[in-house]
Amino acid sequence: MPLASQISSQSNDPIVENTELRKVRFGLYGEGALCWLTPDKQKNYSRGNLGLGLGWGLDVEINFNSTTTLRTGLNLSTFNAGINYYDDNLDAIHETFYVLSVDDDFVTWLEDSPPPNGDLYQLLHRKYSISYVNIPFVLKLKTNEVGYFTYFGEFGGTIGLKTGALVDDRIIPFTYNSDTLNPLINESFVLEDIDISKGTQPVRFGLNLGAGAEYSLSGSTSLFFQLNWNYFITNQLTKESNEDFLRKQENGVFVPVGVKSFPGNIVLSFGILF
């Protein structure tokens, strides 16, 4: 073919943009969460106030193709929510007690034994504040770009490793004499920031379902937002056989409470992907 014909043919071809897919993308994001705890024995305990959690994280996205991605990374978050341990509206009410030392540390309470030495309290309501390092493993399914937007849905799981746990307790002080419990005062008050690390599980496992959108800025860089629902399948509190601090009185004997409670949250995230 003559050179002039080749040049003419090339000049009539449409311009093809370089749309090479990046195999790995990284992102940074911040998040806010609405959190709750659901007790297993809801005749004995009830869900307390909802709490607000905050967090931030690093995303790592591994692209299999233009519409299928594995999302993982590292996330730091706080979980805040409460449980009512004594509620007049419950069908089966019992009183829950614990003992604190002079340093406001929980005192180990042997099963079937009377209260150990220390300050004895009835627990009415407890608000948990727990910090986690989370690692998600999520399959992300995306549409093709529509205008500047790419929409996606995702599902998968999350592993959370506890880094700290504090509680704010609404309590009433009690005395125990000759097998008799008596309140010292008739009004409750709140003790704040008590370390409850030994009363909560070190690891949590959750199911993750979400949806969101990316807004393309240039090249592979985009802003994104998403809404996720997390349902955690593990009890957040220590199991009954390891319950060293909380006791309820049954037939004159103090026995472990062993309440199970399962956390959940709805998380709104905003960030940038590169």
Confidence at 16, pLDDT banded by 50, 70, 90:
very low
The predicted-structure confidence for 38-91, as pLDDT tens digits, reads as follows 998 888 899 999 999 999 999 999 999 999 999 999 999 999 999 999 988 777
pLDDT at 143 > cutoff 90:
yes
Q: What is the pTM of this model?
A: 0.88
pLDDT of residue 11 exceeding 70 = no
| Average pLDDT of every residue of the chain | 90
Q: Are 52 and 35 in contact (CB under 8 A)?
A: yes
Tokens standing for residue 154 = 């995702």
Ranked by mean pLDDT, the top range of 4-18, 40-54, 148-162 is 148-162
Question: What single-letter amino acid sits at 254?
Answer: F
Residues 6+ apart with CB under 8 A from 54: 30, 31, 32, 33, 77, 78
pLDDT in tens, 225-255: 999 999 999 999 988 778 899 999 888 889 9
User: Which pLDDT score is estimated for 243?
Assistant: 86
Q: Tell me: pLDDT of 274 over 50.
A: yes
Q: How far apart are CA 166 and CA 164, in angstroms?
A: 7
Tens of pLDDT along 87-141? Answer: 887 777 789 999 999 999 999 998 788 999 999 999 999 999 999 999 999 999 9
pLDDT at residue 92 in the model: 75
Q: What pLDDT shows up at residue 14?
A: 40
Nearest-angstrom CA–CA distance, 192 and 127: 9
Averaged pLDDT for residues 205-231:
96
Strand, helix or coil for residue 81: strand
Cα separation, 89 vs 200, in Å, equals 26
So what's the pLDDT on residue 19? 54
Residue 6 reports pLDDT greater than 60:
no
Q: How confident is the model at residue 258 (pLDDT cuts 50, 70, 90)?
A: confident
Contact 154, 211 (CB under 8 A): yes
Question: What integer pLDDT is reported at residue 252 of this predicted model?
Answer: 81
- Give mean pLDDT, residues 185-213: 95
**pLDDT top residue among 218 and 70:** 70
Give SS3 for 273: strand
Q: DSSP character for 242?
A: G
Compute the distance between CA of residue 238 and CA of residue 226 in angstroms, rounded to an integer: 32
In order of 59, 192, 198, 217, the CA distances from 29 in angstroms are: 8, 30, 31, 16
Terminal-to-terminal C-alpha distance of the chain: 44
